[in-house]
A and B are shown apart, each in its own frame.
Chain A
Amino acid sequence: MDFQSHNNTSGNKFVCPSDRQLALRAKLRAGWSSSKTNEPLRPDEQAAIISVIRRNEEIETAERQRVGRLVERVEKIKQRAVEGGPNCCRLCGDTFGLLRSTRIICEDCKKSVCAKCSVDINIRYHTSDRTREIWLCRICSETREMWKKSGAWFFKGLPNYDAPSSTNSTPTHQSASGGAMSDVLLPPRGAQSCNNTPTRNVRVKKLTIHVDDSSSSEEDTNGGGGGGGDVVDGAISAVCAVAPLTTARTPNRNSFNADVSPPAATRMQREDSFRLRTFGSIRSFIDSGERKLSNSFFANRQSSRTESNQQDYDTISTASTVTSVNNRRESNCNYTRRSSVSSSWSISGESSSGNSANTSNHVPNHNQVNLHCRELLGWLEVAVSYRESVHSLDCVMVRARDLPAMDAAGLTDPYCKVNIVTPDGMTKYSRWLRTKTVHKTRNPEFNETLQFVGVEPEELGGSSLYVAIFDDDKYGHDYLGGAKISLSPVHNTNQYRISVPLGGEDRFSNEAEMSQEWPHGKILISLCYNTKRRALVVNVKQCINLIPMDNNGSSDPFVKLQLKPDSHKNKKYKTGVKWRTLNPIYREEFYFESSPHDLNKQTLYITVWDKDIGKSNDFLGSLVIGYNSKGERLQQWLDCIKLPDHFHEKWHCLSGEHPTH
């Protein structure tokens, strides 16, 4: 305001007539004197400015496309999201529970997500204040990134953008050939002047179309609720705020356009002071703390350059972009867990959670996830024939394709477990047949015949063959995928050959898993990388079904832990001894100093021993978990590195082999 009065009374306030170089330049017949501020731009000056503006147009176009790609990226993440119930992660649909993911509330959208679908921004942004953990769901964190990268953080609203699908805006060059003064003198974007070129109109129209699409699809996905209403509200209030500015501006712009050539400098002067007033008032709006207005102002900034008859329409649409984008931001914070941990790893994540003994109640929730990733678990080819004479069903496990990777090298050691499911939904045989393990491949050629005897011909009609594929590992067999194949077509053909997609866990796969024998018992381990203490925290919780070693049919178990290789000279730790039990509960924590980087090359050796007095301790079982583990162990290890400051708890089977250190 202060400046305005100066400017109006003495237009030379900001010129320095006594400026040394300027004075020199004036002497060197440079053609102007600082006192004549109203002198119009010469043609060569116009041309120079045109060329700069044109260069800028190129950058602006690229920038709009870049922002469009950023927006699209976030939109894609949202589209991939699974909307589960209140008790499961909104992004990946994973359920929360004791042995499952822990529930995290996203700071921005206040919705529950699992640890894998969220990001601790203290870690991500390296802020010094680590006293408070701020967790964001994947969508909200990506949205923040988009706000940073697009510059929306600065302008308090998303800038204009071109959808990636839309073609490059060639009108830029059109307007260039025209070269009208009004076009040239007024900067294209990021500036307050009114730009009335056809170019601008074309582009805004294009944007409008895009916006309409996205906001309508927004309402579709939202499925009603408050979302739609908010869009409208936002748009209306934005228009309200914009209206006085645009109407007040119109006459001035018209006069400006009326004559476009030389005495433009005077015009500019007038325009200048006018703009001062306009933006002075905006300024006071903003300063009075109405942050919404800055948003709507942004909309104004884009749309006020268009023709007045089109103006209302555009203002509304642009404003609704801003608000509807915001709406979407908070609405569905969904994201498939697929890309959150590590790409090669993700699939096994789906099938991971049922390894422990007490998982039977999770089955319903899994179906949802299974549908989602059915094709990703791979394919199985089987050939089935029935020999009526001996009442024998011969099942050839031919091959499997594209099984989930289970180790860090992206390989798997698969084998099949097969049973027959009777029409009443029970497994026919208590003992599951299994193939040999094919090592180090995701595309195993089993070519192994498993024979079920005692199958009556009439049984075939309603029965099916159930094949579950597991990964063979010393410390637990991870489920890879399963398929149920109806046996009804079998008896009338010689050999029934079929290729089926592998699905996720279900009742039968759990049963197959339960049929595994683990004579050495299991151990529940919780891992957490503590960033404050820069240490791996190992919580040895409990063991079950340990082998009895003492004469009394029991054992006196304790657990020894060691991290290798160890650059921090950590001690070997051991828990206290729990006397006369096969199911000891420890809940003891141990800290191993390490860095996340080192953890990528380290392995934790856990051994369970029977304490004997007077003779050497007996070995009860071992667990090796680390960077070169497989399946669940590897996943727990990676989760622990990727999501520090969170406990990752899992049951593991103990092996009877003493790990060779």
Chain B
Amino acid sequence: MAGGGDPKWQKDAADQNFDYMFKLLIIGNSSVGKTSFLFRYADDSFTSAFVSTVGIDFKVKTVFRHDKRVKLQIWDTAGQERYRTITTAYYRGAMGFILMYDVTNEESFNSVQDWVTQIKTYSWDNAQVILVGNKCDMEDQRVISFERGRQLADQLGVEFFETSAKENVNVKAVFERLVDIICDKMSESLDSDPTLVGAGQKGQRLTDQPQGTPNANCNC
């Protein structure tokens, strides 16, 4: 809610001078630091006071990447179950996910697999995911080693970062990497598969596949 009357937000949100618009979603258990992470990135601010996000919030930031202006609409979701209906509703529009756990919280790490299932269930199949272990500044309370995080990421086939919103460690890197991955995916999807946009769409694709399959689920 914090961005509502903020002139900077107004400026960024209203700015139409950009090439691409990516919608990103930050998910993870409650209190892993999603909101702090977003505030650090978007406003470069940090507060250790915990205010639970109500449902959903977003911030807009325009970045410059590969000679292209990319407008990021970054959704910050509530980690709490009671808002789940609202938050999952936004999964389908998201091109990238930042899946966050708290390195000082075993439970949040154990939930990662469930969040991945959520992503798989609700998002588009080509959505990109980055696993982030937050609060890496709190070394004394750490319960999840870097290695465990990395192994899980390997297992899930996603990239991995350890970050600290408080100390501003790797925050920017995560977003930049995610934008890069999405950009790569974009070039790949169109350039390596011209049929997606071009000739294939006119009917080749429609006729190529077995006619029975779509109709099997259709009463007409």
A interface, CB within 8 angstroms of B = 2-4, 6, 11-16, 18-22, 24-25, 30, 32, 34, 37-39, 41, 45, 48-49, 51-52, 55-56, 58-59, 62-63, 66, 107-110, 121, 125, 127, 134, 140, 143-144, 147-149, 151, 153-156, 185-187, 189-193, 226, 230, 233-234, 236-237, 239-241, 243-244, 265, 268-269, 271-272, 275-276, 279-281, 283, 285-293, 301, 323, 326-327, 329-331
Pairwise interchain contact B117-A45, C-beta atoms closer than 8 A: no
Pairwise interchain contact A143-B90, C-beta atoms closer than 8 A: no
Contact bitstring B172-215, A, C-beta under 8 A = 1, else 0: 00000000000000110111001011110111011001000111
Pairwise interchain contact B199-A109, C-beta atoms closer than 8 A: yes
Chain A nearest Cβ from B38, distance in angstroms:
13
**A361-B4 Cα distance, complex, nearest whole Å:** 68
- For the complex, count residues of B whose C-beta is within 8 A of A: 75
Q: Which 5 A-B pairs have the closest CB atoms?
A: A190-B93, A108-B198, A326-B201, A21-B31, A191-B89
**B122 located at the interface, meaning its Cβ lies under 8 Å from any Cβ of chain A in the complex:** yes
30 A-B contacts, Cβ less than 8 Å apart? A4-B121, A12-B81, A16-B107, A16-B111, A19-B31, A25-B50, A39-B82, A49-B56, A51-B1, A51-B4, A52-B55, A59-B13, A148-B190, A151-B21, A153-B190, A189-B93, A190-B92, A190-B93, A191-B89, A191-B93, A239-B220, A240-B218, A272-B88, A281-B217, A283-B125, A288-B213, A289-B209, A290-B213, A291-B196, A323-B201
Q: Out of A48, A233, A240, A292, name the residue touching B209 (CB < 8 Å).
A: A292
Chain B nearest Cβ from A110, distance in angstroms:
6
**B158 located at the interface, meaning its Cβ lies under 8 Å from any Cβ of chain A in the complex:** no
**B80 located at the interface, meaning its Cβ lies under 8 Å from any Cβ of chain A in the complex:** yes
Measured between beta carbons, the chain B residues less than 8 angstroms from A291 are 196, 205
Pairwise interchain contact B82-A265, C-beta atoms closer than 8 A: yes
Chain A nearest Cβ from B193, distance in angstroms:
10
Pairwise interchain contact A148-B186, C-beta atoms closer than 8 A: yes
Q: A3-B118, A34-B81, A149-B19 are in contact. List 10 more A-B contacts (CB 8 A).
A: A15-B81, A18-B107, A38-B82, A49-B86, A66-B21, A108-B198, A153-B186, A191-B91, A283-B125, A285-B217
Measured between beta carbons, the chain A residues less than 8 angstroms from B218 are 240-241, 243-244
Measured between beta carbons, the chain B residues less than 8 angstroms from A32 are 82
**B114 located at the interface, meaning its Cβ lies under 8 Å from any Cβ of chain A in the complex:** yes
Chain A nearest Cβ from B73, distance in angstroms:
6
Pairwise interchain contact B126-A37, C-beta atoms closer than 8 A: no
**A185-B84 Cα distance, complex, nearest whole Å:** 11
Q: Out of A108, A127, A140, A237, name the residue touching B206 (CB < 8 Å).
A: A237
**B24 located at the interface, meaning its Cβ lies under 8 Å from any Cβ of chain A in the complex:** no
Chain A nearest Cβ from B135, distance in angstroms:
11
**B219 located at the interface, meaning its Cβ lies under 8 Å from any Cβ of chain A in the complex:** yes
**A280-B120 Cα distance, complex, nearest whole Å:** 10
Interface centre among B73, B80, B125 (most CB of A within 10 A): B80
Pairwise interchain contact B196-A153, C-beta atoms closer than 8 A: yes
B interface, CB within 8 angstroms of A = 1, 3-4, 13-14, 16, 19-23, 29-31, 50, 52, 54-58, 60, 73, 80-82, 84-86, 88-95, 104-105, 107-108, 111, 114-115, 117-118, 120-122, 124-126, 186-187, 189-191, 194, 196-199, 201-203, 205-206, 209, 213-215, 217-220
Pairwise interchain contact B31-A290, C-beta atoms closer than 8 A: no
Q: Out of A16, A189, A269, A290, name the residue touching B85 (CB < 8 Å).
A: A269
Interface centre among A52, A155, A329 (most CB of B within 10 A): A52
**A190-B122 Cα distance, complex, nearest whole Å:** 11
Pairwise interchain contact B206-A234, C-beta atoms closer than 8 A: yes
Chain B nearest Cβ from A420, distance in angstroms:
53
Pairwise interchain contact B90-A287, C-beta atoms closer than 8 A: no
Pairwise interchain contact A3-B114, C-beta atoms closer than 8 A: yes
| CB-based nearest A residue for B214 | A241
Chain B nearest Cβ from A173, distance in angstroms:
15
Measured between beta carbons, the chain A residues less than 8 angstroms from B190 are 144, 147-148, 153
Q: Out of A3, A230, A271, A290, name the residue touching B202 (CB < 8 Å).
A: A230
Pairwise interchain contact B114-A109, C-beta atoms closer than 8 A: no
Pairwise interchain contact B4-A240, C-beta atoms closer than 8 A: no
| CB-based nearest A residue for B118 | A3
Pairwise interchain contact A190-B31, C-beta atoms closer than 8 A: no
Measured between beta carbons, the chain A residues less than 8 angstroms from B55 are 41, 45, 48-49, 52
**A323-B201 Cα distance, complex, nearest whole Å:** 7
**A155-B92 Cα distance, complex, nearest whole Å:** 9
Pairwise interchain contact B220-A240, C-beta atoms closer than 8 A: yes
**A233-B189 Cα distance, complex, nearest whole Å:** 25
Measured between beta carbons, the chain A residues less than 8 angstroms from B187 are 125, 127
Pairwise interchain contact B197-A147, C-beta atoms closer than 8 A: yes
Chain B nearest Cβ from A74, distance in angstroms:
11
| CB-based nearest B residue for A269 | B85
Measured between beta carbons, the chain A residues less than 8 angstroms from B95 are 151, 154
Pairwise interchain contact A37-B81, C-beta atoms closer than 8 A: yes
Pairwise interchain contact B60-A59, C-beta atoms closer than 8 A: yes
Pairwise interchain contact B198-A107, C-beta atoms closer than 8 A: yes
Chain B nearest Cβ from A491, distance in angstroms:
61
Measured between beta carbons, the chain B residues less than 8 angstroms from A236 are 220
Chain A nearest Cβ from B59, distance in angstroms:
10
Pairwise interchain contact B122-A107, C-beta atoms closer than 8 A: no
Chain A nearest Cβ from B118, distance in angstroms:
6
Pairwise interchain contact B89-A59, C-beta atoms closer than 8 A: no
Pairwise interchain contact A20-B56, C-beta atoms closer than 8 A: no
Measured between beta carbons, the chain B residues less than 8 angstroms from A147 are 190, 196-197
Measured between beta carbons, the chain B residues less than 8 angstroms from A13 are 114
* A283 touching B81 in the complex, CB below 8 Å, given contacts A108-B197, A329-B201: no
**A48-B51 Cα distance, complex, nearest whole Å:** 13
Interface centre among B19, B80, B81, B111 (most CB of A within 10 A): B81
**A15-B107 Cα distance, complex, nearest whole Å:** 10
Pairwise interchain contact B50-A293, C-beta atoms closer than 8 A: no
Pairwise interchain contact B198-A192, C-beta atoms closer than 8 A: no
Measured between beta carbons, the chain A residues less than 8 angstroms from B209 are 289-290, 292
Pairwise interchain contact B214-A191, C-beta atoms closer than 8 A: no
Measured between beta carbons, the chain B residues less than 8 angstroms from A48 are 1, 54-55
| CB-based nearest B residue for A58 | B13
* A279 touching B122 in the complex, CB below 8 Å, given contacts A16-B111, A52-B56: yes
Measured between beta carbons, the chain A residues less than 8 angstroms from B89 are 186-187, 191-193
Measured between beta carbons, the chain A residues less than 8 angstroms from B105 are 16, 19-20
| CB-based nearest A residue for B198 | A108
Q: Out of A16, A108, A268, A331, name the residue touching B194 (CB < 8 Å).
A: A108
* A329 touching B88 in the complex, CB below 8 Å, given contacts A48-B54, A55-B58, A240-B220: no
Measured between beta carbons, the chain A residues less than 8 angstroms from B197 are 108, 140, 143-144, 147, 153, 326, 329
Measured between beta carbons, the chain B residues less than 8 angstroms from A15 are 30, 80-81
Pairwise interchain contact B199-A187, C-beta atoms closer than 8 A: no
Measured between beta carbons, the chain A residues less than 8 angstroms from B122 are 192, 279
Q: Out of B21, B203, B213, B219, name the residue touching A63 (CB < 8 Å).
A: B21
Chain B nearest Cβ from A65, distance in angstroms:
8
Pairwise interchain contact A187-B203, C-beta atoms closer than 8 A: no
Pairwise interchain contact A241-B92, C-beta atoms closer than 8 A: no
Pairwise interchain contact A190-B117, C-beta atoms closer than 8 A: no
